[in-house]
Amino acid sequence: MFRMKKASCLIIFLIFFSAAFSRLEAAGLSVSPGGFIVNNVTPGITYNLYEKSGIKLSIFNKDDAGHTYTLSVHKPLEVGRMEKGYLEIPDSNWCWFEKDEIKIGPREVGYGNLFIKIPEGEEYYNQHWVATLAIMQKRGKGIGLGLRINVRVQIETESKDDVKGKPAGIIAFKPSTLRFEDVSPGGAQKGSVTIYNNDNKTHVYKITSLLHSLKEGKQRTYLTGSYKMIPDLKWIALDQDSLKIKPQSSCVLSLKLNIPDKPEYHGKKWEELFLVEPEEGLPGFIRVRISDKE
């Protein structure tokens, strides 16, 4: 009886904490690309990113030992932060990897092929979302350090102004991208975007330039394709710089584009993003694309 009590005490006070020789190994992990934008995703279509664009995640195991890595997709705010102006992807299951686990040998590279399918539905056009892709080194038993890299993917669904009903999201736009195509410098062009307040309270939205507000070089987080930031913000005039929108209502914002007629402004491709920011809550943005007559 006494022996049993003694044994219990030992069990209580001696906590066997893993194997005797747990190791803190030198380790290294790289993932490329570290961030990307997928534009023009049509709801209802399954996209194999590698097949469609040649892009896949390259995962570099920089250790002298082989490892298994898990690949998963998350809502960004569950695991960190996200780019301003985007909303979280409503369901992280809309993106997935071909394989959710891969083995990579020492100093070797493995690949993660991403698939995207946004459910069919008019409300899913005109969306700007972020999903976080997590690549994590799977650990064995014992105490140790684990490495994980999060890659954020900015998903922009097809911009359309002829869809029925309201687009999804607490703040939404129709269309989400305003295209000024075949623009001739010297001539004015007009466009408009409907902004939706899908919240249950009135908001006052401030409209400002997103790209011009960023430090030099940081615009690459938002610019797409071969577009560059418009050199002068004054070339785009908004009819309002703030909008008060009642709950479950919308308002139209008009834009006027006027590029000076100079030889150096011909044949250019420019973008600007206008941040639409409520006094409280997450902002959204309107992408303005300008392609000049060649």
Partner 1 sequence: MNKLAIIVVLTVVICFLGVSQAQALSNTGEIAVTVTLSTVSIAITAGDETWAIGPVAASTETATAAALTVTNDGNVNVDIAIVCDGSTDWTIGEVAASNVFIMKAQGGEFATTYTYIGASGDLKLDLAPAVAVDDLLLQFTAPTASTSIDSQSITVTLTASAASGS
Pick out residues in 188-217 that bind partner 1 (CB under 8 A): 214-215
Q: How far is CA 205 from the centre of its chain?
A: 22
Helix (H, G, I), strand (E, B) or coil at 288: strand
Closer to partner 1 by CB, 148 or 266: give it.
148
Residue closer to partner 1, measured from CB, 93 or 226: 226
Give the count of residues interacting with partner 1 (CB under 8 A). Answer: 74
For partner 1, which residue of 2, 4, 24, 294 counts as binding (CB under 8 A)?
Answer: 24
Among 107, 218, 246, 269, binds partner 1 (CB under 8 A): 218
Contact between 52 and partner 1 per CB under 8 A: yes
Q: Does 158 bind partner 1 (CB under 8 A)?
A: yes
Interface pattern 250-269 for partner 1 (x via CB under 8 A)? --------------------
Interacting residues with partner 1 between 54 and 93 (CB under 8 A) = 55, 60, 62, 79-84
Helix/strand/coil for 94: helix
Q: Which of these, 206, 183, 201, 280, lies nearest to 246 by C-alpha position?
A: 201
Site for partner 1, residues 223 to 242, rule: CB under 8 A: 223-225
By the rule CB under 8 A, 290 interacts with partner 1 = no
Q: Does 282 bind partner 1 (CB under 8 A)?
A: no
For the record, the structure tokens of 169 come out as 């999201």
CA atoms of 61 and 106, how far apart (whole Å): 6
- Minimum Å gap between C-beta 25 and partner 1 is 6
Instruction: Return phi, psi of residue 79, to 5°.
Output: -125, 10
Question: Which of 28-36, 87-95, 181-189, 257-265 is the region at the interface with partner 1 (rule: CB under 8 A)?
Answer: 28-36
CB proximity list for 290: less than 8 A, separation 6 or greater? 180, 183, 230, 257, 259, 268, 269, 270, 271, 272
8 A C-beta contact, residue 22 and residue 143: yes
Least separation, in Å, of the C-beta of 124 and partner 1? Answer: 12
113 closest CA partner among 71, 155, 172: 71
Is residue 79 exposed (0-12), middle (13-18) or buried (19+ Cβ within 10 Å)? Answer: middle
Within 29-48, the residues that bind partner 1 by CB under 8 A are 29-42, 45, 47
